[in-house]
Chain A
Amino acid sequence: MSDIDVAYVAKLARLALTPAEIERFGAQLGALLEHVGALAELPTADVAATAQVIAQSNVTREDLAVPSLDRETVLAQAPSREGPYFRVPRIIGEEA
């Protein structure tokens, strides 16, 4: 199971990796996938998947208006801001 395309997976995960990291993580992920391959031995064909063990669904609460976090406190943590806004890199290309 060492056919894992680490560069492609890293792209999906939004992680920049160096060639050395791609090689090292590739070998380590290969070893892990070999270990988890043992799960194929289990008779899971007719078994339901468990997302979490305490079955709860549609948990609702009253729709009450309560104060949210203070804007200044939150914006003070921003890597970059402009007035009352988060400043982020350009997302729409100039040629668009």
Chain B
Amino acid sequence: MADRSAAEVARAVNARETSAVETLEAAYARIAERDGAIGAYLALTQDLARARAERVDAAVREGKRLPLAGVPLAVKDNMCLEGTPTTCASKILDGWIAPYTATAVQRLIDAGAVPLGKTNLDEFAMGSSCENSALGKTANPWDRSRVPGGSSGGSVAAVAAGEATLALGSDTGGSIREPAAFCGVVGFKPTYGRVSRYGLIAFASSLDQIGPIAQTVEDAALAYDLMAGKDPLDATTVDREVEPAAAGLRDDLRGVRVGIVKEFGLDKLEPDVRACYEQAYDDLRKLGAEFVEVGLPTADYGVATYYLIAPAECSSNLARFDGMRYGLRVEGPDVGATYEATRAAGFGDEVKRRILIGTYALSSGYYDAYYVRAQKARTLIAADFAKAFEACDVIACPAAASPAFAFNAKADPVSMYLMDYYTIPMSLAGLPSLSVPCGYVTPAGSDKPLPLGLELSAPLFAERALLGIAHAYERGTGHARAKQIPTLADAVSAR
């Protein structure tokens, strides 16, 4: 049951072929069977889920139709859900109970979605592998010796393993798209400002965006349409009409101009990965797309720009975790020592590193050389994209340079930061961008195929066109649901 798409579940619940409660029970049975091996969830919200499912069933019995009726939803644990623990996978918030619900989560619940629980992430969404979680380990369902990607690793693993039908993630520099690629699901980051961040615990406020993780592009469009739009509770949401994306899904790419980025040449990739992306480009062509080469001469500076801007903003945002009003407090001899001891005990290494980088980049004497220069580089990167989009409707490139890597393979921070090479430039420019499954590679010496993701990115606010194009590619190739995950059977026996 959990392998049905969100659209299929909602249709069946609305038609009363099944109920939201039955769907919920099947989802929890699946979690009980598999999550011991996968570790997608940090907490389950059974009481809330049961109450919501019963309300959905009551509404359907009264003749209401809900667009996400009974759809089992997983929520990344940096989004507030009233009355449930919200930890950011950090010891500093372990045990904190959210006193309100994030707007994006509430909009999906209002549409009939049933929140199953909160999923694992890199602490405060800082990481590309989920290994920076202080509270749990999440494995890639395709090969449990490998990471699920990050930071939204729990949400993508939940959808990939059939432990949720739909999930929410957040993406600051690639945290939806890279893990979606690693786990073979659809992950979509809308335009900056399109979806409310009210109730999303802030990491880097000029970049953070909430988006859907789904089995299909259609489901991602359905969730996006429900979440997008102005929220009075988030002044950074854009007051601009939302063009429903679900109505723009198409089956061919005739007349679509696909831009291939000169600087993202596939020759940098391993041969099997390269062959997979060449096939993906061929498939786009076969569906009718025209190809144009575009230049993004500043794209190579994306990672450097990002690792000044994001830490600077994080050092400011995370100043609120001082042990006074909520979360962990470690008492010291005076208030200053209490702050320092609380933050030393509460934050993990990666969070500390980024706070230090950001504090340094914003400090007197270095502000212009680092932070302001990075903001200027960001202007150049955004301008490069604007120019590229004069010649094309969508840019296609890999979502990541490799499939999922093994645990502990990226011990050096800079090598981990470079995992986001293909996703960061779009984040800096605020563009809508997604990863859609585009094939599989099997590493030498392994019998486990690993998914790869094709990243498609579009101009600001062109979500409808972007999702339409991704839908045509997904329909035309069928990679998304082509393979059963081979390790899930032994995930059960490994418990």
Contact = CB atoms under 8 A, between A and B. Distances in A.
B99 A44 contact: no
A65 interface: no
A47 B352 contact: no
Nearest to A4: B360
B99 A79 contact: no
Interface residues of A, number: 50
A49 interface: yes
B373 A40 contact: yes
B357 A50 contact: no
A79 B377 contact: no
B339 A88 contact: no
A86 B327 CA distance: 12
A17 B349 CA distance: 11
Contact of A77 (B205, B326, B335, B352): B326
B337 to A, nearest CB: 8
B335 to A, nearest CB: 4
Interface string A19-38: 00100010011011001111
Interface in A25-78: 25, 28-29, 31-32, 35-42, 44, 47-54, 56, 59, 61, 69-70, 73-74, 76-78
A80 B329 contact: yes
Given A16-B340, A49-B372, A59-B235, A28 B315 contact: no
B1 interface: no
Given A49-B379, A54-B191, A31 B99 contact: no
B324 A38 contact: no
A12 interface: yes
A39 B413 CA distance: 19
The residue among A54, A70, A80, A88 with the most chain B CB atoms within 10 A of its own CB is: A54
A28 B413 contact: yes
A9 interface: yes
B191 to A, nearest CB: 7
A69 B326 CA distance: 14
Contacts of A76: 97
B355 A13 contact: yes
The residue among A9, A28, A31, A73 with the most chain B CB atoms within 10 A of its own CB is: A9
Nearest to B232: A61
A51 B206 contact: yes
Given A47-B380, A48-B379, A79 B329 contact: yes
A79 B382 CA distance: 43
Nearest to B308: A36
A73 B359 contact: no
Nearest to A14: B339
Given A56-B236, A59-B236, A90-B334, 10 more contacts: A14-B340, A36-B305, A42-B377, A42-B380, A47-B379, A47-B380, A48-B376, A50-B376, A52-B430, A53-B428
Closest 8 CB pairs of A and B: A53-B430, A79-B329, A49-B375, A44-B376, A16-B340, A52-B206, A16-B344, A13-B359
